[in-house]
Amino acid sequence: MILGTDAPDALPLRRANRPAHLARVDVLKAQDRLLLVGPLPAVDSPDPGDAGFTGSLIVAQFDSLAAAQAWAMDDPYLHAGAWASVEVRPFLKVFP
């Protein structure tokens, strides 16, 4: 489980780096390793507009926790400063 927490006022950085971020996520999808992915809206709405987001959640399969950490640390959102921090933790899928 990868949890990227947005920096303050990160919305312009998210928008500018979204294509590169999604390209990396698409690779996980193509490899059938992606379980769940999505942004965390700052308000209770599927389109938060200028309120933006508080972060992103990615649940994917990696060979090890170290591999997941390395992948997360190379994310364009982190490099651009959109994410202020990244937390990587093991996740056990139970359902479905």
User: Where exactly are the structural domains of the chain?
Assistant: 2-88
Q: Which fold has domain 2-88?
A: Alpha-Beta Plaits (3.30.70)
* pLDDT value of residue 19: 98
- Using alpha carbons only, what angle is made at residue 51 by residues 91 and 69, rounded to the nearest 5 degrees? 25
Residues 6+ apart with CB under 8 A from 55: 3, 4, 5, 6, 39, 40, 83
* pLDDT value of residue 35: 96
User: Please, what are the averages of pLDDT over each run of 10 residues along the chain (96 residues)?
Assistant: 97 97 98 97 95 98 98 98 98 92
* pLDDT value of residue 96: 84
Q: Model-level pTM?
A: 0.94
| Residue spans of alpha helices (H) in 1-96 | 11-30, 65-73, 76-80
